[in-house]
Amino acid sequence: MDNKLEHKIEKALVSYTKFKENYNACKYLNAPNTIQEENYLKNSRYFKLIKIALFRNCIIELCKLTKGSKNNYFNIFFIVKSVKKNSKLSSKFNAEINFIETILQDIEPLTKRIINLRNDFIAHTKLNQLDPDITFKELDEYVLKIEDLLQKLLLLIKGSEINFIPILFNKERFDIISILAESKEKK
């Protein structure tokens, strides 16, 4: 198989993994498990900053995967173009490639909004806020489509699959906020 293509999909998977870990933590900090945790997070200046930093990082990592930039050789658009240029893959998997391109077209409106938000972050026009125009529900649906695209591309390129489970952040095991909230209530 094409080593450059394999390298691109592997880099995309690393970028996606970074994004997903940040995203899981960011979602938790914005929708904690209990009211006690929620109250603690509302009153913590540090966690307000952390929520924003995680959200910004999520958007930036997501753009690495979806922004059709000349500098991001491992984004999904360039990987699809590379697969299409590979005559063995393009002739063998033409229907799959067309399906992947259809998904990319379907997510294009939200992709543009995410890229605009990233540009706002880089230009420092949105410094200390989450974007109310992009909801976690929208991002959840988008993330599932990105996972599906990466899975399909990995299958085409390497003939293998990946299980997208959290490596570091697991909401069920993350109890730091509850410990801090309980400690604060005891004071």
Question: What is the chain's pLDDT, residue by residue, as a tens digit (187 residues)?
Answer: 578 888 889 999 988 988 998 899 898 888 888 899 899 998 999 998 898 889 888 888 898 888 767 777 788 888 888 888 887 887 888 888 889 999 999 999 999 998 888 888 777 666 556 656 788 899 999 999 999 999 999 998 888 888 888 777 776 777 778 888 888 888 7
75 φψ region: left (φ > 0), alpha (ψ -120 to 50), beta (else): beta
**131 three-class SS:** coil
The pTM of this model reads 0.84
**57 residue type, one letter:** N
